[in-house]
Amino acid sequence: MKEITLKPFEGYEYAEGGVCAAKGFKASGVYCGIKKSSVPDGNESPISNVKNDICMVVSDCDCNAAAVYTQNKVKGAPIIVTKDNISKANGKMRAIIANSKNANTCNSDGEHKAQAMCKLTADALGIEPEQVIVASTGVIGQILPIEPVAEAVPKLVEKLDYNGNLEAATAIMTTDTVKKEIAVKFDIGGKSVTLGGMGKGSGMIHPNMATTLNFYTTDCNISSELLQSALDEVVKITYNCLSVDGDQSTNDMVCIMANGMANNAEIKAGSKEFEVFKKALYIAMLHITKMLAKDGEGATKLIECRVTGAPDFETAKIIAKSVIRSPLVKCAMYGADANCGRIMCAMGYAETDCDVTKADVYYISKAGKILVCENGLGLQFDEDLAKAILSEEDITILAQLKQGSSEATAWGCDMTYDYVKINGDYRS
């Protein structure tokens, strides 16, 4: 099962609708031929979501927008064009167009194709090309055919619907096995506000600023500057604490659009309302981060590493990510092997000045909790209990450093035989 448990947060309510949950946002998705059909001819399902390979999200009015992007030195053309568009439009965006199966990266005509996608979308919607966010995901180094996109845009516009989130969320999937979407309702100044989003990602995930493709929408009245501030802050404790395989994508993007249709008074910097909004963004991004981790390519388990007692947050994060990134830790989790030496090893080569040699390490799941390492030394423990704990789908590795009061949590998954199979013929 790839579902995650939605942790309750007081004052916030989960809602349906994903990227369409907020007022004034429509979405659509269609199959245009970039991606091979996953459904045999003549056997199409009522909703051909498994075939969709291109989507559109549109607001009824102009939005304030913000985004973060991959820090990989090789950047997909859509990253370059979107960043330029947001700058030219002063953050006033209106639509998103995104395709899967082809990353439009390392192509001589990549920026031209990304710009063409924006113009096709703008012409069909009657807006400016600079008001379009463009994104692509899939195989790197293959030319993106623009003809299927040109044919799809009118269909996408025709199919735009306030309930179109499912079609859009499945259109951005590549090796994902489940769609990833979330929506949260909360109150700001007596007004009901909604924030929703969708994401994709299963492999090539080890972010440093952003990861995969993630699109958030909200009807909150908030400026682009504060959106950027909130996004920068929240991404550090969610997406930047995620690792599936240690590879950072060339096309990573997280963007958010706010159309103000909730009619709340504009949020001010440093206000309690801004804190309420940031927490809503955190809740949404936290859960999609966990969805991405649990749906890692070939994964069977969600692995959470919580590091406590660190001298500062950055140290705790680096150590936690080192643990969940380790191929040996991942393999041990797959085999339910309670080898604490692999945890200590991964903490020991983490690039920090922290002395981890006195750490306590626990394995935790719904099957129980067990101490396997104390003060840096391995213990004799109940192997049967440890095996039961690590045989669950959701596992927590708790490392207590006892050197401060800071902590961080990182998320990842186990590594299975299927990961190699999937990536051995990714272009097929």
Distance CA 207, CA 310 (A): 22
Distance CA 267, CA 269 (A): 7
The DSSP result for 211-224, as a single string, is -SEEEEEE-----H
Distance CA 192, CA 377 (A): 52
Distance CA 276, CA 408 (A): 21
Nearest by Cα to 400 from 316, 336, 326, 324? 316
Half-sphere exposure of 199 (CA within 13 A, CB side): 28
Residue 211 annotated in active site: yes
Residues 6+ apart with CB under 8 A from 31: 37, 48, 51, 52, 53, 54
For residues 362 and 370, is the Cβ–Cβ distance under 8 A? Answer: yes
Q: Which two tokens stand for residue 27?
A: 């979405």
Long-range pairs for 371-378: beta carbons < 8 A, 24 or more residues apart: 372/338, 372/340, 373/340, 373/343, 373/344, 376/344, 378/340, 378/341
Catalytic site residue from 211, 238, 250, 409 = 211
CA-CA distances (angstroms) from residue 242 to 150, 262, 412?
35, 32, 6
Half-sphere exposure of 88 (CA within 13 A, CB side): 12
Q: Which two tokens stand for residue 222?
A: 């908030």
Residue type, 167: E
Residues taking part in catalysis = 211
